[in-house]
Amino acid sequence: MKIHMFSGSGFAWRIQLACELKGIPYDPAYMQPTPENLKSAAFLKLSPRGKVPAIEADGYSLSESLAIMAYLEAKHPERPLFGKTPEETGQIWQKCLDFDLYVSGDFIPNLIAPIVQGRAVNEADAVRKGAATAHEELAKLDDGVGASGWIVGESVSAADITLYTMIEPVIRFATKPEILSLGLGFDSFASRYPRLQAWREKVQSLPEYDATYPVFWREVDEQLAAAS
């Protein structure tokens, strides 16, 4: 199975994690997120809205990360990620959809995009407002972490994958040295959201996690480590 993606895309990261957890072989087909690539006729056949990820498998193509994870679950039911009971399945889908419909829609345009595109300092008020909204949602999520330490149920699920791959980029980008002066509050994530911090560490301790860590992030991390 081929995954069309670019390194650092939280939505594509979901598919990598799902594949690793289920033991599904895949080929990451990295692309640059340029309009020429994303809006090309060839790519639009795979992803009509020109978004990553998109997959190709045995002549079949599909886009949208939640749809792809559902497809993988149906095709490879081993190590279920969408619950073992109807009740768990419903809860997991509720968490995934609630997050994508109401939370990540704010994270990306109001926090991640301005920082990545170098606009955050010039748009400081808007970014601070976006951060305040993000903190409101993170507080709710912190309260909702299950007794097991996972978002739903007793093991890692699609809910954990969906949330983690959007929350982690926010923390990474909002704690860059040049962004800390904006006082967005993510440098105190661990003390502010202790349950979510423990959950982050739980996800990061999964044996399959390291293989999915964004290639570009790893390169930057290694460069920073070498320079220090």
Between CA 68 and CA 18 the distance in angstroms is 9
Whether the domain at 2-75 and the domain at 86-227 fall into the same CATH topology: no
- Residue 221 CA, chain-centre distance (Å), reads 18
Averaged pLDDT of the chain: 96
pLDDT at residue 228 greater than cutoff 80: no
* pTM tops 0.85: yes
Q: Could you tell me the pLDDT band of residue 106, with boundaries at 50, 70 and 90? A: confident
In this structure, which CATH number among 3.40.30.10, 3.40.50.1980, 3.10.129.10, 1.10.3720.10 belongs to the domain 2-75?
Answer: 3.40.30.10
CA triple 91-95-97, angle to 5 deg: 115
CATH of domain 86-227: 1.20.1050.10
pLDDT in tens, 12-68: 999 999 999 999 999 999 999 999 999 999 999 999 999 999 999 999 999 999 999
Residue among 16, 32, 115 nearest 69 (CA)? 16
Q: Could you tell me the pLDDT band of residue 225, with boundaries at 50, 70 and 90? A: confident
Domain ranges of the chain: 2-75, 86-227
